[in-house]
Amino acid sequence: MVNCEDVIRFLDTYLNVARIADASRNGLQVSGTPRVGKIVFGVSASLELFRRAKVAGADLIVVHHGLLWGQEQPLTGMFRERIAFLLKNDLNLAGYHLPLDMHPVVGHNACLMRALHAERTKPFGQYHDETIGFCGYIQPAPLPDIAAALETVCGAKAQVLAYGPARVETVGVVSGGAYSMLPQAIAQKLDLYVTGVLDEPAQEWCREGKINCIALGHYNSEKPGVLALMHLVAKQFDVQTEFIDVPNPI
């Protein structure tokens, strides 16, 4: 068992929470039991995740998409039910949004770049006032091979827009709902842009920009960082850890 506040202090510091502007309220969002023996990790806060975490014996739940997004919200409906479940069961909830997107070691985007054995990586992808992704070089490879490698890492079927070079050497990655950053990849003349989800303009942006794009799903593209964070915490603290997957194809 460890103190919950020690785990939160470590995560806040390691992920540079205080330095990153974000709509999400990063860090501890709901306070529960002060002592923690098991930490469950998941991508998104939901009643289903909370219920499974309770069954698994969790004292603390750590997610990428939390419950608090920078504005007051009435404690009604689904939001009330989620908060009520956490409080009734004395569960702590912590969320880390942009800090987990952009971290150079355990961030989703860093993990995806490592999965492609990228080199000469540098920050890429402006989101408001933050740069949250990475770009770099990989050993030239056919687009289907790259898609297959990313599918294995994310456990998801990739959506592929093949309008760029048949063999890919330069890649930019911004996980989640970052299809709108595709023009930034085009401006940098990258061979491939990797993200979570696409919307209607993406196909013609790719065709006209002569770039490939791979989308792995918002949820699935953001599992890698959560898993990396879990492994880090397991090494740092004498606690049990478990990743609970609540499958989501979107």
The pTM score is 0.96
DSSP 102: H
Residue type, 137: Y
Q: Count of alpha carbons within 13 Å of 74, Cβ hemisphere only?
A: 2
**Residue pair 113/134 in contact by the 8 Å Cβ criterion:** yes
Structure tokens at 105: 């070691």
What is the mean predicted confidence (pLDDT) over 8-26?
A: 96
Q: Nearest CA to 209 among 174, 172, 175, 176?
A: 172
Tell me the C-alpha distance between 12 and 97, whole Å.
Answer: 12
Stretch 24-53: mean pLDDT, rounded? 98
**pLDDT exceeds cutoff 90 at 174:** yes
- Work out the pLDDT band at 226, boundaries 50, 70, 90: very high
In the predicted model, is pLDDT for residue 70 greater than 90? no
CA–CA gap between residue 220 and residue 151 (Å, rounded): 9
Q: What is the pLDDT of residues 86-107, one digit of tens each?
A: 999 999 999 999 999 999 999 9
Strand 38-44 to 35-36 pairing: unpaired
The whole-number average pLDDT for the span 56-76 is: 95
Residues 187 and 24: their CA atoms lie apart, in Å, by 29
- What is the residue-averaged pLDDT of the chain? 97
Q: Is the pLDDT of residue 129 over 90?
A: no
Percent pLDDT > 70 in the chain is 100
Residue 22 structure tokens: 């974000």
Q: In whole angstroms, what is the distance from residue 127 CA to residue 139 CA?
A: 28
Strands (E), 59-202: 60-65, 92-95, 119-127, 130-142, 159-162, 167-173, 192-195
| Separation of alpha carbons 245 and 29, rounded Å | 21
Question: In the structure encoding, which two tokens stand for residue 11, read together?
Answer: 């995560």
Distances in Å between the alpha carbon of 107 and those of 132, 166, 174, 202, 211?
A: 9, 28, 10, 24, 24
